[in-house]
Structure 1
């Protein structure tokens, strides 16, 4: 779903970061040292997906069934974190070669995508644009806003508004999807504006063609049926309102965590110019060990987000090893080390300070 428009503070016409040239030694070393890490391991992917789903839905069922408020809260938090991990695997679907993980996309959509109303087409065909060298950080990047150059109030609004995501997704699939099948003009708007997990309000997407279009239609139909059934069964009392409310609250919690993670995934300092790969890397964030909490708020390799931008073809389970190798080999002066940060509070503080800095 697209976000609201956020005001920008005044900024220099040219971004200093955008003028950083590529460090060819770093890029060459990164490619050479990780050639043996590019193969996705199906066992890890499936085990992670199944475990996240079992824990997530099991804890959700406990939160719904229990009469204890304390148990409900604890179970709800566990469900939220587990389902967040499962949903984060949508990122892997946009990068992995599906021939190497046969059936995984269908499995993910069955267990996570359709039930949580974020079928994979919401990200496939969108996220790859974020990695395009000529698009990153520009107005054509669906996942970029120069938040560091905006007004201070935009940061809390950016985070808080994300909690409306479950309601927006329910409307998207239970109301807009069926209506758009009958109204061509509405269909155009739904496809272009309400079919992408993006944060750039100016981004518009096109309906894919061929096999991708057929997959889109199947997944959208399945998600629409589920969303309509959820509303009807709740309205008729088949699903207790408590169960529906807890499901929506858990979804809002997932969206909130993800938006906080998005807030610190980049430094957001580019003003719209094309950037070199090194500049893109330095505008992105790694939060490596010894920090522990990123395991929860940046799961499935997202704690190595800068490294992922450097080597987008690496599966998530290879990123920790790649980071260890590069950290050991690259000299201290290498730009590689400048993208690592200690944790969430420092990153949020850095971004907040940037928004109030005189320009």
Structure 2
């Protein structure tokens, strides 16, 4: 399937990406060239305050009167802070391997292992910035939701409450069993070892990180066995297990929902150059409470991030300000801006509603046996 086979708004939108002038990129780089250095102090302060306060509020959530205002408030605030702290996984995978090693270990200790999401599981994210992968079925973070019927959006959202269950099965059952079965290990490493939103993603796990992954599997299994022992000894009740599941599902669900406003999601699966990749991405520029809550650690500037992936999160606001002030008024960078989360999702919904089932780009993502 190619863009010319898709009628109406979809083919036009896809074709227009490559036509956008990208000559301003060099000028943009010059404007932000002094902003690429990370500040370890900012990273450590932000992460530790967010994660430790999140754990303190989790204790309040578990000890408060059931369904009281205090419990609800603690639940919501803990989720938002865990979401913020968890988002540093995105910063970690963009760091050089030998940079801020202690920070990466601390992230795994405070969040990665307790949430069954060690940062090595997100190492596939670098493929999302590869022009040969971005927007294709080989991109684990892309689904053509804007170029498929609205049922695909509902199918996507329906996965969110099940994410903790998937992770429990991955680290508590499949991972350990795969240590003793070569074929199962191959399946686990290709189908269940990447943090993705594309359920059809199937790529080998990087061999250079295989040892790190297995260490994380061991630590996550020990964590789960400890929890199981505490439940068996009645130190932790089943109702508390349910409360923990709900907190984790809600926290992960925040990112699942936020992801709807990261891109336009209208590509048909063909390769896209860097200019098209930026044009397909979205900046949320509105200063609202929802923007602050749903787009922590620089996530609101997703188009800017795809323009310059190495920019640290704490400099994105200044970088965006400079680009908006100095780039040409008709520059395509400005077209990536949306006033709010609702504006971006509304655009996605309208695009999906205008897509007939027979023109669905999702067919390119399905396994060969499932394509029509």
Q: TM tier, shorter chain?
A: over 0.9
Which of 338, 362, 369 is matched with 1:341 structurally? 338
**Counterpart position of 1:107:** 106
Which of 169, 172, 178 is matched with 1:174 structurally? 172
* Mapping 1:240-251, distance limit 5 Å: 240-251=237-248
**Counterpart position of 2:274:** 277
**Counterpart position of 1:231:** 228
For residues 142 and 200 of structure 1, the distance between their equivalents in structure 2, rounded to whole angstroms, comes to: 5
Deviation at 1:15, TM superposition (A): 6.3
For residues 238 and 251 of structure 2, the distance between their equivalents in structure 1, rounded to whole angstroms, comes to: 20
**Counterpart position of 1:253:** 250
Structure 2: gaps of 5 or more residues: 357-372
Deviation at 1:160, TM superposition (A): 2.6
For residues 127 and 266 of structure 2, the distance between their equivalents in structure 1, rounded to whole angstroms, comes to: 19
Local SS of the residue matching 2:34: helix
**Counterpart position of 2:43:** 45
Relative to the length of structure 2, the TM-score reads: 0.89
Asked if 2 retains the 8 angstrom alpha-carbon contact of 1:117 and 1:227, the reply is: no
Deviant stretches of 4+, over 6 Å: none
Listed one character per residue, the Cα deviations across residues 268-310 of structure 1 (whole Å, up to 9, x for unaligned) are 0100111122211111110124334211111110000010000
* Mapping 1:66-81, distance limit 5 Å: 66-69=64-67, 70-81=69-80
> Structure 1's 358 and 302: CA in aligned 2 closer, same or farther, altered over 3 A?
closer
Asked if 2 retains the 8 angstrom alpha-carbon contact of 1:22 and 1:276, the reply is: no
Moved more, 114-123 or 15-24: 15-24
Deviation at 1:358, TM superposition (A): 5.1
For residues 43 and 166 of structure 1, the distance between their equivalents in structure 2, rounded to whole angstroms, comes to: 32
> In the alignment, does 2:264 pair up with 1:267?
yes
For residues 230 and 166 of structure 1, the distance between their equivalents in structure 2, rounded to whole angstroms, comes to: 15
> In the alignment, does 2:184 pair up with 1:186?
yes
Cα RMSD (Å): 1.8
**Counterpart position of 1:290:** 287
For residues 184 and 232 of structure 1, the distance between their equivalents in structure 2, rounded to whole angstroms, comes to: 29
Local SS of the residue matching 1:61: helix
**Counterpart position of 1:220:** 217
Asked if 1 retains the 8 angstrom alpha-carbon contact of 2:80 and 2:293, the reply is: yes
| Count of matched residue pairs | 348
For residues 60 and 264 of structure 2, the distance between their equivalents in structure 1, rounded to whole angstroms, comes to: 39
For residues 282 and 203 of structure 2, the distance between their equivalents in structure 1, rounded to whole angstroms, comes to: 27
> In the alignment, does 2:348 pair up with 1:351?
yes
For residues 46 and 228 of structure 1, the distance between their equivalents in structure 2, rounded to whole angstroms, comes to: 30
For residues 243 and 68 of structure 1, the distance between their equivalents in structure 2, rounded to whole angstroms, comes to: 11
Listed one character per residue, the Cα deviations across residues 290-337 of structure 1 (whole Å, up to 9, x for unaligned) are 334211111110000010000001011110000000000012211011
Local SS of the residue matching 1:99: coil
> Structure 1's 239 and 36: CA in aligned 2 closer, same or farther, altered over 3 A?
same
Asked if 2 retains the 8 angstrom alpha-carbon contact of 1:291 and 1:342, the reply is: no
Asked if 2 retains the 8 angstrom alpha-carbon contact of 1:136 and 1:275, the reply is: yes
Asked if 1 retains the 8 angstrom alpha-carbon contact of 2:193 and 2:205, the reply is: no
Relative to the length of structure 1, the TM-score reads: 0.92
**Counterpart position of 2:325:** 328
> In the alignment, does 2:147 pair up with 1:152?
no
Structure 1: gaps of 5 or more residues: 1-9
Asked if 2 retains the 8 angstrom alpha-carbon contact of 1:173 and 1:228, the reply is: no
Asked if 1 retains the 8 angstrom alpha-carbon contact of 2:22 and 2:332, the reply is: no
Deviation at 1:156, TM superposition (A): 2.2
- Report the structure, 1 or 2, having the larger helix content: 2
